[in-house]
Structure 1
Amino acid sequence: MAAYITPVVNSTAVFKDGLFDGKVLFCTGGGSGICKAMTEAVMRHGAHAAIVGRKLDRLTTAAQELSTATGKLCLAVQADIRRPAEIQAAVAKTIEKFGRIDLVICGAAGNFLAPISKLSENGFRTVIEIDTIGTYNTIKATLPYVRASKGSYIHVSATLHYRGTPYQVHVSAAKAAVDATSAVLAVEEGPHGVRSNVIAPGPIAGTEGMDRLGVREGNGAPSSLLSTMPAGREGDVKDIANAAVFLFSDAASFITGQVIVVDGGNEHLLKFGLPYPQAVLDPDSVTKMIRPRL
């Protein structure tokens, strides 16, 4: 008997077209993958957007694609979110272009597979700086404008820190801090009319994250995750985008300080992809199963 497979739908099939008319989205990491899909969905419902990242060529191409696909304006702004002055300048350019910021996605992230014994101090620090400090810098730079518009934040996290996930100490620490930061932001800024929530994606097919982190078979092909997917399929970027549209909408006006896991139920059947305890006793023996660090 075949298992039921949940469908993938576009947000426009569920939510009204002008949901975010007159609003402006500010998204870090919006040049590719999950964050680009989230930006596109919000734009399809009426918002203009600014996408922020370090690679201007990628951002410019993505901004053009997003504008063409949605008919809304998308501004590409180069900035390293680890540097407060650069993210502040990106916010200033957004305000100069659009005059406001209503919605913020803190999505820039970095990750790779490495056991603690082989993870350098610099590697650990870099992920903390991008994921955690970058999120804080983005909040600080955008908060006056989000307060003014009674807007909302979405932070992109992960499910790795819900249990001890080998080879992921750096991102587990970083994302746990992001979750905590969002909760404090929700409590402190709620009286000002600001909401803050977290989306924790599971494995999403076709993304750079899955390409980098997915465990490889002996022939180099990615391992299948379908056996741990109660929803019967791999995640799609639209799944995350749909969650973002909902959380930013007035339908979620009483939802703040929450972590929304979007993983097709994967967390409940999650297994460590590398052989355990072999992977921690002899890390060199599993190097061929891991994509080389970029």
Structure 2
Amino acid sequence: MDSPFKADILKGKVALLTGGGSGIGFEIAKQFGNHGASIAIMGRRQQVLDSAVSVLQSLGIQAVGFVGDVRKMDDANRTVESTFQHFGRLDILVNGAAGNFLVSSEDLSPNGFKTVMDIDTVGTFTMCHEALKYLKKDGLGKKSSDGGGIILNISATLHYTASWYQIHVSAAKAAVDAITRNLSLEWGTDYDIRVNGIAPGPIADATGVSKLAPDEIDFQARDLVMPLFKFGEKWDIAMAAIYLASDAGKYVNGTTLVVDGGIWLSRPRYLPKDAVKQLSRVVEKRSREVPTGLPTSKL
């Protein structure tokens, strides 16, 4: 699918992505690279990193990978420092590392809950904290005329209402959204850094759907709760990321952009569309016949 953005919209920028070796993170890395950015990706698995970097380089993208765990401050610091040493600057940080699995609340151990919080929430803050000195205006490698850098935190919509068997991730992503808002206030004011988030919906070609909505679950009624009648694609999330990371989104700060086709707003359709008008007429007629608030015994 062709991009709606100019091919050089991120030219000269350096982006570091956690969780950038696969899934949505890799698609963002690829599209950033296709639009002119140099790419550093951080992940825990060397083989996945090597494969991702090889693919990016085969596309003509300057790319490098660093093994590290976002839960460990030393790994975060080393990756940020290595990115700067390799490319000479850091302009964009994308926090995409995450953990998830289906589990009922009573079967979720405190350690399992903590693990997801550590990856999603603590890891996000740790990476932001370690990258600050390179992202801020007047920071190392960044002239005052350049302005500040960009932080994008990958969130979710699970916590906007409530989600079955996702208490751990809902809590973690709610905290990530709070990090996004607070850093946008403080670092936007002090350092001219824009901090935003993206909340993807179900993405057909990402690992999240295969883990959280496997084929074994019957989703015959799925279309009834999907306003656009389709899953999203990783490309959709990557385009949103380009918008927020480029000058196209230069006045957007402190927001989490929902990219889910409106699914989080939806509920199962409990009445066929063609029956709404007829039922409405019946209800309105009845309301005129029985005054509101008066007991029928007194009519």
TM tier relative to shorter chain: 0.7 to 0.9
1:246 aligned onto 2:243? yes
For residues 155 and 67 of structure 1, the distance between their equivalents in structure 2, rounded to whole angstroms, comes to: 25
Match of 1:255 in 2: 252
8 Å CA contact retained: 1:10, 1:242: no
1:182 aligned onto 2:180? yes
Q: Give CA-to-partner distance per residue, 1:175-199, whole Å, 9 cap, x none.
A: 0000000101100011211000010
8 Å CA contact retained: 1:215, 1:222: no
Q: Which moved more, 1:228-237 or 1:131-140?
A: 228-237
8 Å CA contact retained: 1:127, 1:174: yes
- Match of 2:93, SS state, is strand
Match of 2:95 in 1: 106
Match of 1:74 in 2: 63
1:85 aligned onto 2:74? yes
Tell me which amino acid in the other structure corresponds to 2:151.
Answer: Y
For residues 224 and 129 of structure 1, the distance between their equivalents in structure 2, rounded to whole angstroms, comes to: 35
Match of 1:196 in 2: 195
Tell me which amino acid in the other structure corresponds to 1:45.
Answer: H
1:141 aligned onto 2:140? no
Tell me, which stretches of 5 or more residues in structure 1 are unaligned?
1-8, 272-294
- Match of 1:92, SS state, is helix
For residues 267 and 222 of structure 1, the distance between their equivalents in structure 2, rounded to whole angstroms, comes to: 16
Tell me, which stretches of 5 or more residues in structure 2 are unaligned?
143-147, 269-299
* Structure with the greater alpha carbon radius of gyration: 2
Amino-acid identity (%): 41
Match of 1:156 among 145, 154, 157: 154
For residues 162 and 95 of structure 1, the distance between their equivalents in structure 2, rounded to whole angstroms, comes to: 36
Q: Give CA-to-partner distance per residue, 1:199-241, whole Å, 9 cap, x none.
A: 00000012111111115446xx776743322223211000000
In the superposition, relative to structure 1, how do residues 82 and 270 fare at CA in structure 2: closer, same or farther (>3 Å)?
farther
Tell me which amino acid in the other structure corresponds to 2:152.
Answer: I
Match of 1:286 in 2: none
Tell me which amino acid in the other structure corresponds to 1:172.
Answer: S
- Match of 2:66, SS state, is strand
Match of 1:234 in 2: 231
- Match of 2:162, SS state, is coil
Match of 1:20 in 2: 10
For residues 114 and 86 of structure 2, the distance between their equivalents in structure 1, rounded to whole angstroms, comes to: 34
Query: Which of 1 and 2 has higher RCO (CA within 8 Å, sep 6+)?
Result: 1
Match of 2:288 in 1: none
Match of 2:2 in 1: 10
- Match of 1:85, SS state, is helix
Match of 2:20 among 19, 30, 52: 30
In the superposition, relative to structure 1, how do residues 78 and 270 fare at CA in structure 2: closer, same or farther (>3 Å)?
farther
1:164 Cα deviation after fit: 1.8
For residues 48 and 208 of structure 2, the distance between their equivalents in structure 1, rounded to whole angstroms, comes to: 16
Tell me which amino acid in the other structure corresponds to 1:134.
Answer: G
Match of 1:265 among 248, 262, 265: 262
Q: Give CA-to-partner distance per residue, 1:19-67, whole Å, 9 cap, x none.
A: 1111100000000010110111111110001000100110110111012
- Match of 1:198, SS state, is strand
1:157 Cα deviation after fit: 0.4
Matches within 5 A, 1:281-292: none
Match of 2:105 among 104, 116, 121: 116
In the superposition, relative to structure 1, how do residues 22 and 175 fare at CA in structure 2: closer, same or farther (>3 Å)?
same
1:56 aligned onto 2:55? no
- Match of 1:52, SS state, is strand
Stretches of 4+ aligned residues off by more than 6 angstroms: 221-224
Compute the RMSD of aligned alpha carbons: 1.5
For residues 222 and 165 of structure 2, the distance between their equivalents in structure 1, rounded to whole angstroms, comes to: 18
- Match of 1:139, SS state, is helix
1:270 Cα deviation after fit: 4.9
1:143 Cα deviation after fit: 1.0
1:209 aligned onto 2:198? no
Match of 1:3 in 2: none
For residues 43 and 212 of structure 1, the distance between their equivalents in structure 2, rounded to whole angstroms, comes to: 28
8 Å CA contact retained: 1:214, 1:223: no
1:141 Cα deviation after fit: 1.0
1:166 Cα deviation after fit: 2.0
